[in-house]
Structure 1
Amino acid sequence: MNMDDALKKEWFRFNSKLVVNEGQFGLLEVFKRNFGRERMLEKKILKVDEYEVGPYKVCIFSSPRELEFIYGVSDSSVELLSEKLVEHLSSTLADNIAYKIKGLHLFDKFLAFTVDEAVRQLQGYLELSEETARKVALSLAFRCAGLSAIAPLLLDDKVEEFYLDGKEENVYLDHRDWGRCKTNIILSDKDIERVLTRIRLESGFRLDEVHPSLKAEVLTKFFRVRVLVDIPPIAAKGIMLTFRRMRKKPYTIPELIYNGTISVEAAAYLLFCILRRFNICVIGEPRAGKTTMINALDLMTPLNWRKVYVEDVIESLSLQEHGSHQAKVKVKPPEEEGEKSKAKEITQLLHRSPDWVFLGEIRTREDSWAMFHALTAGLVGLQTCHGRSVEDIILRWVIHHGIPLTNLKALDIIVEMKMLPSIAGRPKRRVMKIVEASDDPRKFLTVEKLFSGEAFIDVFAWSPERDELSLVTDLLKTPSLKKIRKRFNASEEEVLEEMDVYKFTFSKMVEKKIFTVKDNVSILNHLYYLSSNVDEGEMDWKDVKREIEKIIEKLH
């Protein structure tokens, strides 16, 4: 946990106000009321971080003998213009746009329209720069939508998830840098009803006593979240909300290498297997980073592939602007009745002629049967499943879902992920192991053989001593590489030379911190084009390495 030395020296004592950089950050009364701890008045707390999120100022505080950090928020537009003026502006704006917002039930369109309208009005009678006007306008837009209470959490890319467990309780969150944090945010009944109304509008599904749970996504140019809401009779305390944020700047494989989630060698191996169209199933517990991983892997597919996505909640990335061919099928969640089920749409994939399929989360028995039907029919791609380990997920498929043992051979590769929690501070997400299904069908005839260590072979395993994902077998003897060598008549030297170029490429991208989606897609597709010249005999892998280095240096 790194802190700026200057921040370490900033100590604050609660008296009647909490002073932050000459401005008023009114958290005292909120802490007294919301946390119910009068002793905090006599306790020193330390501000450990401070940053801006659009129009909001975020401060992170630590308190002695407290496991959770405190996430405090203030609205910079209020500090700039005063609360009274901001309330007046938002009220006037709401009146002015009321007759114009028909058809703007989707939040993305509502926000974009309202921000533009607010900027126009602000610049009409206040001398504000374009940047400042847009920040204030965003705050006003959230106020008009009735979502100002949770706006900072929706916009903050360092917030991974945030939660509300019941009425009149504090919202709390998981922070990328500081782990579990309490907030000074309590949602009123009116705030909660506005959130529920927005979720109903975005999803198009019912939320009532008969249908008390709803899973939906809210996708805008300002933020992307997946939300799960529960109301009575399921929610014993009146309401339960779980918001999972999807990063505005998605993780790419070089960034996951940089933060220790996966090793360079393992990333090169997975890329090699993706390009040969091997299936990859990413498994792990909730919050292990499964969706992050399959999105990062999906980014590495060639742009000329036709990719078909089947999801009940859209968590895949939109890559059309980069030239990708993406056909997306949205299905009803398992909780909703109807014809358009995920299992049914997966079985229809054969008629959609995909090069690659993205199935998202496989949850139900029907989903599992449909997935293995697709795999055994020759469709490959990416999917996630919940399970604590490879062994547990295999038992779940075989025992609970009734999948025939011999079908497991079609899995190809399983990536097991885990979140390593910290009692206080930032959790780490790691690839714990990468295993391959044996190419020998005799290994899948009995449950005993499945767990003999021969049906599924560890290729990479994480070492807790070194905090490192390491190769634990001879790559050339893995089922995937043996198949590839046989299928393409490739020598050991050719295979290793190609993988070395992939390792070199990732290492250079990590070194230069080339993490954006745009740059990753550009570099990797240059690499694929150059690789095709090797296949044609016009270049060798040393030439490819030199050209890729030039491209990376030029880009950097």
Structure 2
Amino acid sequence: MLRMYIKKRSGEQKRIGYLKYKKIDYESLLDELIRIFSIKPSLLDEIESLMLYNEKVCILIDRKTVREILTPSAKAIHEIRRNSVFDNKSYNLLEKILDGRLDLKSIKRSIGRNAFHSKMIFLEKPAIYSGNTEIISARDSYEVLCYNVYIIENKTPEKMYVVRLFSSYAGIRFSYDSLGRILVMYDRKYFLRKISTAFFDEIMDHRLSLFHNIAQRFCPDILSELTKIEFRKLAYLSFFSSLKMTRIMPFLLDDKVQEFYQDAPSTKIYLDHEKYGRCVSNIALSSRELDAFLSHVKIDTGSYISFSSPSLKTDYRTTLFRVRVSIDSPPLTVNGIAIDVRKYGKKPLTLVDIVNKKTLTADAAAFLLTATIFRSNILICGEPGSGKTTLLNALDMLLPRTLRKVYIEDVVESVDQLSEGKHQLRLKVGTLEEIHENLSGKVLEIIKMLHRKPDYLILGELQNEEHVKAAFHAMNAGLRCIQTTHAYSLEQLIYRYVDIFSIPSRLLLSLDLIIFMKRDFYRGDKREVVSIFERHNHVADVNPLSFFKPIFIRRFNGLLERVSSYENSSLIEKISIENRISKNELILFIKKIESMIKQQQVAGIEALLNKLLFLKCKYEN
């Protein structure tokens, strides 16, 4: 194996992969280099010199040899490779070249070009290039489809998130981009009408089905060296390249990436990792790559962005990833396109998962789930990215299947439960970025719910004054609602609603529970429930801050503790009165749910509820 490094005319030194070559026969080595670089000869255009080395030998190929032998020879054979995809005569010629049945003079006569010159390779044993980019001392590493990810310690709190292709073999590193271009050429020639209106998943299925035949004709020599797994990875890599999305895909595919950002073209992507918190990657997308991603988002989601409306927010779902995309562009942004992509896990976090991550305790989880099961009006608050929607979805997935749940969301973040036989109507309304369109707004849909009889109304995020007023209108009209909003503390929430949004303070009493969450940014970016407040049953003070009392508080030691007994809980009393269930039975119900969460056996919660309601009916009769 020989490692290959190039030195560009700019002086930059870069490792480009390794060559599978054991014997050092300089004449046959030149032929091997021509074969490999014929897959992607454009790499040779800016090369000042090429170096190959291993533990035993070091070979330097100078600029003259690169320009007079490698470049014209590789380009000539590349043209034969490309034509072989569309033409049998070229394919037969390529087979002869790769089998060694044609020498250089015969190839010259066949293609009619003066591409090959006899010249010796200049050999030296120079010092090793300083451009070594091998990964060393990684704290963690794992595979993401056709990529390898390395987590590297940094001198700053941010760790390095380094992405590499799944293989360093030059044949793979050179071929995926060329194959991506040929897939596009093939579609333009034979499937233009089909591809021009296709979505991401349709293009993926189509091009992956074509890949084997095209790759077998373009680079059969490379395919013969690959395992089935490597072939599959190369197919995906070539497909991503055909969409100009090769370098953004690892972030879209990695389930451990919770959200990633790029503030301007050619600046490095940084991200929030579920295990390592804030990380900085080695990838900086160019304007062209950002434009390509934006184009796919617009085509696949039907969203748009323009000079007069320079922001876009939408959910983007394919078989490979599910994300919420926010894009800002000039003239709003000063330095070019900026992206913020929040990931939805392929498998949403359950309440047990959230407890295991110590976001909240089993005791608090059981209390919240009980409040949700009995359709309490709940507001989940916190800064952006603190886990509000994750907690809401975890509670929602454990609600009884008999409930008719209606969702009103501008970006679909809820979990589809129709396949489980649950009653679920999900409505998608226009985002704030789309308010100029004639789309149904959240406010209008909330008001319309008064005539649609939802058992539980799940409003998603309350973003502005109109959303908040509509939500309080619904709750005070008798609808049961659960929603999220941005607020860091009870004081901030109440002052914002009362003083800024002019919500009458007495309307706050329609809320049964207020939950506050936060991101512990400097401790691995953990998400935590920091406090849970319930409404007082008897309010004498006019100060709205006195309307609510804490029932759970996270102490300085980091533990979330219950600070009020369930016997004195106003919410337990309210549920008891509304449902005619004794407080003791409700408290026992909470304790049983807590035990089930600790044992990770939440599947029986609905049966437990049915048993509780059956006993209630039995006593009444």
In structure 2, what is the Cα distance between the partners aligned to 1:92 and 1:43? 30
- Structure 2 vs 1, CA of residues 76 and 400 (structure 1 numbering), >3 Å: closer, same or farther? same
Question: Which residue of 523, 546, 553 maps to 1:461?
Answer: 553
For 1:50, the equivalent position in structure 2 comes to 141
1:305 aligns with 2:407: no
Question: Which residue of 307, 326, 346 maps to 2:446?
Answer: 346
- Structure 2 vs 1, CA of residues 537 and 221 (structure 1 numbering), >3 Å: closer, same or farther? farther
In structure 2, what is the Cα distance between the partners aligned to 1:39 and 1:461? 55
For 2:538, the equivalent position in structure 1 comes to 440
Question: Which residue of 252, 260, 270 maps to 2:368?
Answer: 270
Shift of 1:18: 11
Question: Which residue of 179, 182, 187 maps to 2:285?
Answer: 187
In structure 1, what is the Cα distance between the partners aligned to 2:228 and 2:420? 29
In structure 2, what is the Cα distance between the partners aligned to 1:342 and 1:130? 50
**What is the correspondence of 1:74-85 to structure 2 with a 5 Å cutoff?**
74-76=164-166, 79=169, 82-85=172-175
For 1:493, the equivalent position in structure 2 comes to 584
Shift of 1:109: 3.9
**What is the correspondence of 1:232-247 to structure 2 with a 5 Å cutoff?**
232-247=330-345
In structure 1, what is the Cα distance between the partners aligned to 2:132 and 2:231? 37
Answer yes or no: is the 8 Å Cα contact 1:123–1:133 preserved in 2: no
**What is the correspondence of 1:98-109 to structure 2 with a 5 Å cutoff?**
98=188, 99=191, 101-102=194-195, 104-109=197-202
**Paired residue type of 1:464:** F
TM-score for both structures, normalised by structure 2: 0.73
In structure 1, what is the Cα distance between the partners aligned to 2:168 and 2:137? 24
For 1:152, the equivalent position in structure 2 comes to 250
Q: Deviations over 1:147-188 (max 9, x none)?
A: 111000000011111111112211111111112211111112
Question: Which residue of 276, 296, 312 maps to 2:394?
Answer: 296
Answer yes or no: is the 8 Å Cα contact 2:17–2:173 preserved in 1: no
For 2:513, the equivalent position in structure 1 comes to 413
1:364 aligns with 2:457: no
Shift of 1:530: 4.6
In structure 2, what is the Cα distance between the partners aligned to 1:162 and 1:306? 35
Secondary structure in 2 matching 1:308: strand
For 1:91, the equivalent position in structure 2 comes to 181
Shift of 1:129: 6.9
In structure 2, what is the Cα distance between the partners aligned to 1:250 and 1:113? 29
TM-score for both structures, normalised by structure 1: 0.81
In structure 1, what is the Cα distance between the partners aligned to 2:485 and 2:133? 48
- Structure 2 vs 1, CA of residues 188 and 257 (structure 1 numbering), >3 Å: closer, same or farther? same
For 1:450, the equivalent position in structure 2 comes to 544
- Structure 2 vs 1, CA of residues 429 and 441 (structure 1 numbering), >3 Å: closer, same or farther? same
Shift of 1:471: 0.7
Answer yes or no: is the 8 Å Cα contact 2:515–2:529 preserved in 1: yes
For 2:529, the equivalent position in structure 1 comes to 431
Answer yes or no: is the 8 Å Cα contact 2:404–2:455 preserved in 1: yes
Answer yes or no: is the 8 Å Cα contact 2:411–2:428 preserved in 1: yes
- Structure 2 vs 1, CA of residues 112 and 409 (structure 1 numbering), >3 Å: closer, same or farther? farther
Shift of 1:216: 1.3
Answer yes or no: is the 8 Å Cα contact 1:146–1:194 preserved in 2: yes
**What is the correspondence of 1:92-131 to structure 2 with a 5 Å cutoff?**
92-98=182-188, 99=191, 101-102=194-195, 104-118=197-211
Shift of 1:130: 6.5
Q: Using CA pairs below 8 Å that are at least 6 residues apart, which structure has the higher relative contact order?
A: 1
Bigger-Rg structure (1/2): 2
Answer yes or no: is the 8 Å Cα contact 1:115–1:134 preserved in 2: no
In structure 2, what is the Cα distance between the partners aligned to 1:42 and 1:107? 33
Q: Deviations over 1:459-510 (max 9, x none)?
A: 1111121x2211111212222111122233333331222111101110100x
Shift of 1:220: 1.5
**Paired residue type of 1:450:** P
- Structure 2 vs 1, CA of residues 129 and 508 (structure 1 numbering), >3 Å: closer, same or farther? farther
**Paired residue type of 1:58:** V
Answer yes or no: is the 8 Å Cα contact 2:446–2:470 preserved in 1: yes
In structure 1, what is the Cα distance between the partners aligned to 2:364 and 2:235? 45
In structure 1, what is the Cα distance between the partners aligned to 2:424 and 2:212? 35
1:170 aligns with 2:261: no
- Structure 2 vs 1, CA of residues 434 and 91 (structure 1 numbering), >3 Å: closer, same or farther? same
Answer yes or no: is the 8 Å Cα contact 2:17–2:168 preserved in 1: no
**Paired residue type of 1:292:** T
- Structure 2 vs 1, CA of residues 136 and 525 (structure 1 numbering), >3 Å: closer, same or farther? farther
Q: Higher mean Cα deviation, 122-131 or 400-409?
A: 122-131
In structure 1, what is the Cα distance between the partners aligned to 2:409 and 2:483? 10
**Paired residue type of 1:431:** V
1:333 aligns with 2:423: no
In structure 2, what is the Cα distance between the partners aligned to 1:525 and 1:270? 15
In structure 2, what is the Cα distance between the partners aligned to 1:530 and 1:116? 53
Question: Which residue of 358, 364, 381 maps to 2:481?
Answer: 381
Shift of 1:138: 2.7
Shift of 1:263: 0.6
For 1:507, the equivalent position in structure 2 comes to 598
Q: Deviations over 1:380-424 (max 9, x none)?
A: 2321100111221111111111111121111111110011111xx
Q: Higher mean Cα deviation, 122-131 or 371-380?
A: 122-131
1:259 aligns with 2:357: yes
Answer yes or no: is the 8 Å Cα contact 2:573–2:583 preserved in 1: no
- Structure 2 vs 1, CA of residues 209 and 410 (structure 1 numbering), >3 Å: closer, same or farther? same
How many aligned residue pairs are there?
Answer: 488
Question: Which residue of 67, 85, 105 maps to 2:157?
Answer: 67
Answer yes or no: is the 8 Å Cα contact 2:412–2:428 preserved in 1: yes
- Structure 2 vs 1, CA of residues 351 and 136 (structure 1 numbering), >3 Å: closer, same or farther? farther
In structure 2, what is the Cα distance between the partners aligned to 1:476 and 1:370? 34
Q: Deviations over 1:327-380 (max 9, x none)?
A: 111111123223511111111112222111111110111111111111111222
- Structure 2 vs 1, CA of residues 105 and 43 (structure 1 numbering), >3 Å: closer, same or farther? closer
In structure 1, what is the Cα distance between the partners aligned to 2:211 and 2:363? 50
In structure 1, what is the Cα distance between the partners aligned to 2:383 and 2:465? 18
In structure 1, what is the Cα distance between the partners aligned to 2:196 and 2:538? 57
Answer yes or no: is the 8 Å Cα contact 2:15–2:131 preserved in 1: no
Secondary structure in 2 matching 1:490: coil
Secondary structure in 1 matching 2:283: strand
**Paired residue type of 1:154:** L
Answer yes or no: is the 8 Å Cα contact 2:14–2:131 preserved in 1: no
Secondary structure in 1 matching 2:425: strand
For 2:53, the equivalent position in structure 1 comes to none
